[in-house]
Amino acid sequence: MKIESETYLDFSDVLIRPKRSTLSSRSQIDLNQNLKFLYSTQLWTGIPIIISNMDTTGTLEVYKEASKHSIITCLHKYHTISDFENYGISSLNPSLFMISTGISESDFSKLKEILNVVQCNWICIDIANGYQANLVSFCKKVREEWPEKIIIAGNVASREITEELIINGKVDIVKVGIGPGSACLTRQKTGVGLPQLSAIMECADAAHGLNAHIIGDGGITCPGDMAKAFGGGADFVMAGGIFAGHNENPGEVIIENGKKFKLFYGMSSKAAMEKYNGKMEKYRSSEGREVKIPFKGSLHETIEDYLGGLRSTCTYINAKTIKQISKCTTFVRVNNQLNKKFS
């Protein structure tokens, strides 16, 4: 048993210190990034926000709206070739959606089948526990099969496995976050995790030292949290709950006491396991919650709200581009950051 005395921080523990700025308008901010990768031969241009690969958010209908804003949709791993064909394969922008996969042999076979038909630049190798040794070997296998693809793997929350996935797994991007998601119960059920801001800072430092990238996955409750994730060194930010509950999200609108809701649930929840596996195995427990999210209307409005918040952050700290946010960020520790009188 060992206890680390260092204090690890979440988004709610800090604010970003404002700085003298030459920027007089949000319209001067360019949120588009131009990125190249350690192993992939692809070049990518877009806004480095990713909608999570949960089946209530990572869908082709969500992609349709998100792609208009040059942000990425990570499609959930239960999509079939028929789903792509019904949507229209030729209408998909291969730079703005990701194919997700687990790490079993059947997952690899399905991935091959889809990528033989669907042109996509991204592969997201996604398991809840990225500390499994067989994740590294699976990533290496995927790299050998598709050397030109941008390959992501996770989830992790610490330096050593970030470096392992990059060096030995040959991945371009490591997905960071153990338990910070709004529909995630991992920390409650297992006691495992690291506060998300500190995890991002640690893993970003490790990845950037190897000329690779990270995704800060989860823990976003407001545009300010997303700005803090970029400020902590995240190259991309992935979120699910904030992009749920809209017209474009799947599921019927539920009306209770005159109020409208849509369902949102974690992919390790009992609801998801019963939906896709027919049952939850007796040796497992549900590590995701099912949430009724107040209906939000158009996804367009939520995306614009977050992009506007990021532009405003940039004007406060004199960051002309989203890439400069981390270079211009100084965090201050706080005991309280919001006046909640009318919340």
CATH numbers and ranges of domains, the chain = 23-332 (3.20.20.70)
Is there a catalytic annotation at residue 186?
Answer: yes
The predicted structure's pLDDT at residue 39? 98
The predicted structure's pLDDT at residue 185? 82
20 near 330, Cβ under 8 Å? no
123 near 153, Cβ under 8 Å? no
* Marked catalytic residue, from 186, 313, 315, 329: 186
- Which 3 state secondary structure label does DSSP give 317? helix
The predicted structure's pLDDT at residue 157? 97
- Which 3 state secondary structure label does DSSP give 224? helix
The pTM score is 0.93
Distance CA 170, CA 210 (A): 11
pLDDT tens string, the chain, 343 residues long: the values are 899 989 999 999 999 999 999 998 999 999 999 999 999 999 999 999 999 999 899 999 999 999 999 999 999 999 999 999 999 999 999 999 999 999 999 999 999 999 999 999 999 999 999 999 999 999 999 999 999 999 999 899 999 999 999 999 999 999 999 989 888 888 888 899 899 999 999 999 999 999 999 999 999 999 999 999 999 999 999 999 999 999 999 989 999 999 999 988 766 656 656 665 665 566 555 566 788 889 999 999 999 999 999 999 999 999 999 999 999 999 999 998 888 888 7
* Marked catalytic residue, from 124, 184, 203, 314: 184
The predicted structure's pLDDT at residue 341? 87
Is there a catalytic annotation at residue 139?
Answer: no
Dihedral sign computed on CA atoms, order 101, 107, 108, 110: negative
The predicted structure's pLDDT at residue 267? 63
Distance CA 130, CA 134 (A): 9
